[in-house]
Amino acid sequence: MAGFILFFAWVGFGGDLAIGMLTADNPPGSYHHWFPFIGIVTSLVAAGVCWSAWRNGAKRVLWAAGAWEIIEPATPEQRQYVNVVEEMAIAAGVPRPRIWLVPDDDPNAFATGRDPETASIAVTQGLLERLSRDELQGVVAHEMAHVRNFDTRLMTLLAGMVGAILLVSDGARVILRGGGRMGSGGRAGGGGGKKGGAGALGLVVLVLWLLTLVIAPVISRLLAMAVSRKREYLADATGAQLTRNPAALAAALEKLEGHGGATRAITKGAAHLCIVDPSERKISDVEGFLGDVFASHPPMRERIARLKGMAYSAE
């Protein structure tokens, strides 16, 4: 969280600092950048995007997935699903979340919401059809762990911050084009004034700021995915604590991993909310540096091994 806040401050006010230093030596009557309007605008935009994601992020995720809420279960699978959610809510000591079903054949599940009082749990139709009751209980316990540990709040806020950085980065590029035109006019009038120390240092700061704008989307997503991977391990452990049956969650993850398809209904922006990566999981399967940096979830083999270790069974 501190990294995101510092990143926002640099993307916003770093541009003001760079342009201010570049225009410091301009002659009287030329443009001097002294008011930090770039930082103020980017901060306001970022705050608005984060607030919108905070208030409406859960609804947007469910709407984008095409999920529909189960009020009265219509099939035996749905009745079992509702029963398991109620059971795990009691075990976790949280209010029963709203229960949703995603019409997708790929087995997957996610939880969303600002807090336990506003939480929702959603599973796909494919998951209901493929898992036994114990395995379904393990998956629901994993998602209930996200709710109890307030991971859904953290991930909703992180999703808003990633979106804000993307928007701010694009906006800063537009502002920079206008600032660049003003700066070039000043240089034309100022002759060799830019040979001063402030101008040279400002040029260095500007280059660093431009580099930040280019890599901002990548860095922000890496930060979000790093948080997501740690919370997945914690949710696995907490889910095993709630069910007292880590082997069931391990078996469920094996089935989810073995299916090998993609959850088409769930967008990439909500990938960090799911129990398994909704894409085809090619990066998540890679162990080592590449998977640790670019995957939204820990390696499935490692998650399953840890759960089986809790159950004192061989990998």
Say whether both 131 and 240 belong to one domain. yes
* 315 inside domain: no
Residue 213 has pLDDT above 80, yes or no: no
- CB-based contact 168:8 (threshold 8 Å): yes
| Contacts of the segment 15-20: beta carbons below 8 A, 24+ positions apart | 15/39, 15/172, 15/175, 15/176, 15/179, 15/209, 17/202, 17/205, 17/209, 18/202, 18/205, 18/206, 18/208, 18/209, 19/179, 19/183, 19/202, 19/206, 20/202
Q: Check whether residue 175 and residue 149 sit in a common domain.
A: no
**Are 231 and 147 contained in the same domain?**
yes
Number of H helices, E strands in the chain: 10, 4
Q: What is the per-residue pLDDT across 280-311, written as a single tens digit (0 to 9) for each?
A: 655 555 565 555 556 668 888 889 999 999 98
**111 domain residue, yes or no:** yes
CA 131 from chain center: how many Å? 27
Q: Is the pLDDT of residue 198 over 70?
A: no
One domain for residues 18 and 129:
no
pTM of the prediction?
0.76
Question: For residue 221, is it within any domain?
Answer: no
Same-domain status, 208 and 244: no
Please report whether residue 202 resides in a domain. yes
In a domain, 289, yes or no: yes
Rounded Cα–Cα distance for residues 132 and 111 (Å): 20
- Structural domains counted in the chain: 2
CA 43 to chain centre: 19
Please say whether the beta carbons of 180 and 209 come within 8 A.
no
306 or 273: whose pLDDT is higher?
306
Beta strands 109-112 and 120-124, pairing class? antiparallel
Choose the catalytic residue: 143, 232, 302, 315. 143
Beta strands at 98-102 and 120-124: parallel, antiparallel or unpaired = parallel
Same domain? 274 vs 134: yes
**CATH for 96:** 3.30.2010.10
- Provide the domain limits for residue 27: 2-58+159-215
Residue 285 lies in a domain: yes
Single residue among 215, 238, 253 that ends a domain in this structure: 215
Residues 14 and 106 in one domain: no
Q: Exposed e or buried b for every residue in 160-184, given b needs 16+ CB within 10 A?
A: bbbbbbeebbebbeebbeebeebbe
Query: Does the annotation mark 143 as catalytic?
Result: yes
Instruction: In whole angstroms, give the CA distance from residue 299 to residue 303.
Output: 7
Going by pLDDT thresholds of 50, 70 and 90, the confidence category of residue 37 is confident
Q: Closest Cα to residue 32, out of 192, 183, 174?
A: 183
Co-location of 52 and 86 in the same domain: no
Q: Is 63 helix (H, G, I), strand (E, B) or coil?
A: helix
Place of tokens 């967008």: 267
Residue (of 113, 109, 93) closest to 101 by Cα position: 109
- Residue 222 in any domain: the answer is no
Q: Is residue 220 part of a domain?
A: no
Regarding whether 74 and 108 lie in a shared domain, the answer is: yes
Same domain, 87 and 105: yes
Q: pLDDT of 90-144, one tens digit each?
A: 999 999 999 999 999 999 999 999 899 999 999 999 999 999 999 999 999 999 9
* pLDDT (average), residues 260-273: 74
Shared domain check, 183 and 251? no
Q: Are residues 131 and 116 in the same domain?
A: yes
